[in-house]
Amino acid sequence: MNAALPTVGVEEEFLLADPASGAPAPRNVEVAAAAAEVGIDLQLELTRCQIETNTEVHTKTSELLDDLRRLRTGVASCAEKHGARLLAVGVPPAVQDEFPVTDTPRYQRIERNFGMLAHEQGLCGCHVHVGVPARDVAVRVGNYLRPWLPVLLSLTANSPVYRATDTGYASWRSIMWRRWPSAGPPPFFASIADYDDMVEMMLASGSILDTAMVYWDVRPSASFPTVEVRVSDVPATVEETALLATLIRAAVAMALEERRPAPPVPAEVLRAAYWKAARSGLDGDGLDTRTGRTVPARILLDQLIDYVTPALEQSGDQEFVAAAVAAVAARGNGARRQRAALRAHNDVTEVIDELAAATLEGCY
């Protein structure tokens, strides 16, 4: 590795839940106002049961981790003041029929144009921004990241329980999210012009209303000089979020140094790998996008870590990554933890309690 490692920032989406029932609590406006009073700027999401935090821009994983702890702790306190629990979870485990849409002009327009998709949203992901010098570089980097996206989804899967039932998927959020016409695995783009032509087509067709609705799991950010990776459920713990961000940053750093052509993984192969990752998470088999063969998800994660090791050595993050991966393997990611709680008592409120504890685990 020759160049300086890029910067990284993280956006985490959270569910606001009723403390008694665990049902989504439509109080994001109130929680955001309370957070503003203590210096935390929250973004309102499409539904009123969601909020989003944004870290500062960081160069060190330890500082990013401290920032994530600060935000989760502060927002959880604000949520509690307004009768809600903050949950790091991909989908609401206990859910009503639909969610009220946040009352902003843009979100109301999305509701009018996309109907039930908007009302059934309530999905919480994690978006990692890594600094790149230009939009064309972001598109090029995205091509290199495509084969690894299912591995990142497996690692962070945190949404197996929906409507108080085990869905059979470690990441049900990933399955639901891909109903949007612009969401899911990104295409392979030959150039920034190729990317822009595709976006123009989607705008003209009405499949997106603005460029912020380009929901592909890798995209040039519409707001920052970054490549944005959006494949993951919001991880259960701050350490898992920091692990995700560290691996993505290292993968971007490797892509920036690549001189070989990016592997043009066929869309059908990538979609199959996504489905395997959503189905099994980290505890089952995944699909190796390079060979088309079924491989244990843990082996695919090890292959990703091997690939990014030069960047981890440069940043000094090897030890953190090894420890964090070992912790997830031993304790389980969010999907395994939710399923264990549901099996133990067959009571969704136990899942909510487990999620609330994991959300603030390691924050104090």
Mean pLDDT split into 10-residue runs, the chain, 364 residues: 86 94 92 96 90 97 98 97 97 79 88 84 93 96 98 98 95 95 94 96 95 94 91 98 98 96 95 98 96 96 98 97 97 97 93 96 90
Provide CB contacts within 8 A for 33, sequence distance 6+. none
Angle 65-276-148 from CA coordinates, rounded to 5°: 50
Per-residue confidence (pLDDT) for residue 46, from 0 to 100: 79
The pTM of this model reads 0.96
- Give the pLDDT of residue 223: 82
The three-state secondary structure class of 329 is helix
HSE at residue 82, side-chain half, CA atoms within 13 A, is: 19
- Three-state secondary structure call for residue 245: helix
Q: What is the rounded CA–CA span in Å between residue 157 and residue 165?
A: 16
Q: Which residue has the tokens 């995944």?
A: 286
The token duo for 45 is 């999401």
The reported pLDDT for the residue numbered 121 is: 72
Domain ranges of the chain: 8-359
Domain 8-359's class? alpha beta
Across the strands, what pairs with 129? 9, 228
Q: 10 Å Cβ neighbour count for 216?
A: 21
Compute the CA torsion angle 176, 198, 234, 300 (nearest 10 deg): 90
- Going by C-alpha positions, the residue among 335, 348, 338, 47 that lies closest to residue 175 is 335
**What is the pLDDT at residue 103?**
86
DSSP 8-state code for residue 212: G
327, 343 contact by CB (below 8 A): no
Q: Is the dihedral of CA 258, 263, 269, 271 positive or negative?
A: positive
List CB contacts of 265: < 8 A, sequence separation 6 or more: 146, 147, 188, 289, 290
To the nearest 10 degrees (0 to 180), the angle between helices 238-257 and 135-145 is 110
Q: Decide: 5 and 13 in contact? Cβ < 8 Å.
A: no
